[in-house]
Copies of this chain bind each other. A is one copy, B any other.
Amino acid sequence: MSTLPSDVHLNVGALIFPEMDQADFTGPFEALSRIPNSTFYTIWKDLAPVPDMRDMRIVPDTTIADAPQLDILLVPGGYGQEALMQDEEVLSFIRRQAASARYVYSVCTGALLCGAAGLLHGKRATTHWTAMQTLPLFGAIACDERVVVDGNMISAGGVTSGIDGSLVLVAILRGDTVAQELQLYMAYDPQPPFNAGHPEKAPPDVLSTVSGRAQQITEARLKTARAYKAKWDRPG
């Protein structure tokens, strides 16, 4: 993949929303907000502080109505994603931006919002492991990988995957050296104290507890995804 000329300015924007998982957004922000010759926008319906799932409040820079055309649209996830799955203002924003953006980048269950906006048909994609089974219902080819690039759709898996994906995206846009510079600045040389970050690696009791806690939202997401599939499958 060839990178862009460095004199091409990039508008990078993130949809932020109530009950997002802040790390889906803040992890990528760390790298994407430092792309040379770029401007970053946090975007929501209005300019009031947006509380994440654990009530960290982030102030949007601009609104869905006022946001410029973006080159990169970042769509994070979190439990609040589910409340937006029928929100035409949000879905049409994603759709409209995606039509002219260079890349749409979903992190975690942000992929489900992209799915509801119709962006995943025939695309390889990933999401949080609890929601992986919803992807085919949006017409996607589910890939249990940490970062998936398919044309102009880039997706990262659960939460912290967004850091890896953002470095992949920076490398695509500005080259490997720029991505490595950001990695070194961020001291991203991870050493997790445990090896429990993937369902196949976690102890069974840990997997069972975490799956159980997510059961309600997982079922709601599946129901919504099935309704999308049924709507799209309906003849005429």
Give residues in A with beta carbon < 8 Å to B: 21-23, 26-27, 29-30, 33-34, 40, 42, 49, 54-59, 61, 108, 128-129, 146-147, 157-161, 163-164, 167-168, 171, 176-177, 179-181, 183-194, 196-199, 201-203, 205-207, 209-210, 213-214
Contact = CB atoms under 8 A, between A and B. Distances in A.
Contact of A186 (B40, B158, B203): B158
B33 A26 contact: no
A49 B59 contact: yes
Contacts of A164: 190-193
A183 B192 contact: yes
Given A23-B30, A171-B194, 17 more contacts: A22-B26, A22-B29, A22-B30, A23-B26, A29-B56, A49-B59, A57-B58, A146-B191, A158-B187, A160-B163, A160-B190, A181-B196, A184-B196, A184-B197, A185-B210, A185-B214, A188-B190
A180 to B, nearest CB: 4
A106 to B, nearest CB: 14
